[in-house]
Amino acid sequence: MEDYRNLKMQMHDMEAGCSAMAWETQDGKHLWGRNFDHSRIAEGSQIIYLPEGTSYTMWRPELKSGEEDKTKYACLGTGFTGIWQAPVLYEGINEKGLAGGQLYYRGFARYESACKSGTRKLQPPFVVLHLLAQCGTVKEAVEMIEEKITLMDTKLLGTVPPLHWAFYDRMGEMAVLEPEENGVRIYRSTIGIMTNSPGYEWHRINLLNYAGLRDLDYEEADFGTEKMQQCFSGSGAQGLPGDFTSPSRFVRLAFLKKYAVKGRNEEDGVVYMFRLLQNVSFPLGAVRVTDQGHITEYDKEVTPYDYTVYTSVMCPESLRFYWNTYDDLQIRYVDLNHLIRKKEILLFPLENRGEFMCLS
């Protein structure tokens, strides 16, 4: 019963606000990363390695037997194993270089009540793992969603989290998948930015409201009879929204992706990308939530605020999974290449308290 209640809260913890982006380096490496923003993170959340041949759940209603599969490709990402030893991933990367994750889609996500003919049932919390486990490219992931599975409106321990997804591969394409009233709407070759509700198309059109933003300062302001010289930098981006809402974070990341200097190589690119994602992160205390949902003794370090619990970045070429946490800005990584021959599930701690380095 304790395991049941614990996993039930872990399902609620998937309902987190987040930001994600795709980027490149000057030498042609691809990067995909996200912020995980919430008031807590489920006890037991870790970096998980799942080898080829690992059994996992696709659909399982309320502790009954359901549908399962085995991983075709090894996967690495953030998540938890939960009850039944059924792994769930929030985001991750596989051995073929397909990367992606889930983000909160409150008020808009719609799922099916009946399974479409010729498809298999899949619950929303298991989408990330299933696509990473079975698909090697964005094209294959899209085909899986369109032709082979039905996203079911089936509760898992009392809840159906409202989610949408982004996936990215070595070709540099980021696709967005959004479950709506008439099925999953798929956006190919997007601008490489994703936040939360409303949907991607709304965010894309909303960028037209900020078409005048630029990186270059305005040299002077002309007021007819008087011309005034600028006395500060950044005037080209005046009007760039700075709050923590989903629309504002989308615009801010789109601006940064367009103008920010790309890293020369993967190492530079990863550091620069963490810096960009900091620009849409939630400082602890700045976003107080009105409804935290039901809290139990199993929730870990619950706060009255949403904050950026962790940030992760993945490289489809090197197969490295990088991350840091709110309490420790040190960037750590796990290299999937080093694990690919391992035949057992491996867990790596998400959180480690960093140390201050004294040089005097």
Question: Pairing between strand 55-59 and 67-70?
Answer: antiparallel
In angstroms, rounded to a whole number, what is the distance separating the alpha carbons of residues 314 and 322?
Answer: 6
Q: Which residue spans within 46-105 are E strands per DSSP?
A: 46-50, 55-59, 67-70, 75-80, 88-94, 99-104
> Is 90 within 8 Å of 33 (Cβ atoms)?
no
Give the dihedral sign, CA 152/157/160/165.
negative
HSE at residue 69, side-chain half, CA atoms within 13 A, is 17
Task: Kindly state the DSSP code that residue 311 receives in the 8-state scheme.
Answer: E
- The helix (run of H) or strand (run of E) holding residue 149 is strand 149-151
Residues 6+ apart with CB under 8 A from 108: 162, 164, 178, 180, 197, 198, 199
Structure-token pair, residue 321: 């999974």
Residues 6+ apart with CB under 8 A from 117: none
Task: Kindly state the DSSP code that residue 268 receives in the 8-state scheme.
Answer: H
> Is 112 within 8 Å of 154 (Cβ atoms)?
no
Q: Which amino acid is at 101?
A: G
Annotation marks residue 75 as catalytic: no
Number of CB atoms found within 10 A of residue 74's CB = 24
In angstroms, rounded to a whole number, what is the distance separating the alpha carbons of residues 291 and 242?
Answer: 23
In angstroms, rounded to a whole number, what is the distance separating the alpha carbons of residues 131 and 283?
Answer: 32
Selection from 164, 166, 169, 136 nearest residue 151 by Cα: 164
φ, ψ of residue 357 to 5 degrees: the values are -105, 115
- The catalytic residue positions are 18
